[in-house]
Amino acid sequence: MLFMSETYTNRINADILLNEPIGGIRFGTDALLLADFASNMRKGLCIDLGTGSGVIPLLLLATGCKANFCGLELQPDYAKIAQENARINNFSERFNVICGSAENFKEIFTCGSADYVITNPPYMRLDCGDNNESVALNIARREVSGGIDMFCKAASWCLKSGGGFFAVYRPDRLVNLLYAMRENRIEPKRLRAVTSSVGKKPSLILVEGRKDGKEGLVYENDLVIYSDNSHSEQTDEMKEIYNRF
């Protein structure tokens, strides 16, 4: 079990202080790239399914996003940390956190109440590899509370018709994500693969969908993190993303 006393504070850019639990999942490239990918959202309500420490809403708010955010987090200690992060960064009025499971979306959220849903869901199946020693890490990384179909069902329930959906996922499970989106009336509209360097296989997939959207997917150029195979120099685009956030 994690407690608020077992946290440390990390300055992740010039504006954001982020409390994170010791031994828990850390802020990483996937969250940063998803925030950048979703930065075209405008005013309205955005629900972050599995908000963790609240880093994605905080990144977007700190860079001028006009939306208001509601984070849903299964683990009580993470939910407390996320709400505290909203407070210390002066975003309490625009970012609130609910402790609960996305599986209970009908009891938690009003149908059609959100303009956007964003999620960095657990990527790994329960039967994939050895479980992590930390219960908190297992819940964050593995489908302990439900898989991508459940997250897409929750997103579809929350979204207005025409609302936007943003997710980051593993390339080897991309079919699962796209199938779950379509089965839940979220049409894939934009997709971008993330690679470590030119010529390497994708390590992450970023997807945008539209509830009740028409068929038509734009496959964007790969986002390349490093300009060399030794990973010593970031690409200009990656530097721009870090500078923006």
Q: What is the pLDDT of residues 83-122, one digit of tens each?
A: 999 999 999 999 999 999 999 999 999 999 999 999 999 8
DSSP code for 196: S
11-15, 31-35, 88-92: range with lowest mean pLDDT? 11-15
Mean pLDDT of 157-176: 97
Say yes or no to pLDDT of 137 above 90: no
Instruction: Give the percent of the chain with pLDDT over 90.
Output: 76
At position 92, the amino acid (one-letter code) is: S
End-to-end CA distance of the chain: 31
Residue 212, CB-side half-sphere exposure with 13 Å CA sphere? 9
Is the alpha carbon torsion for 144, 150, 154, 156 positive or negative? positive
Q: Which of 32, 26, 56, 30 is nearest to 202 (CA)?
A: 30
Specify the length of the chain in residues.
245
Structural domains in the chain, CATH included, are 4-182 (3.40.50.150)
What pLDDT sits at residue 122?
85
> Cα dihedral sign for 34, 36, 37, 42?
positive
229 φ/ψ angles, rounded to the nearest 5 degrees = -70, -15
What rounded mean pLDDT belongs to the chain? Answer: 89
- At residue 12 the predicted structure's pLDDT band, cuts being 50, 70 and 90, is confident
pLDDT for position 142 = 47
Q: Which amino acid is at 57?
A: P
Both tokens of 101, joined, read: 């499971």
- The C-alpha atoms of residue 30 and residue 54 are separated, in whole angstroms, by 14
Q: Do 95 and 52 touch, CB atoms closer than 8 A?
A: no
Mean pLDDT throughout 195-215?
A: 96
Q: Residue 4 pLDDT > 80, yes or no?
A: no
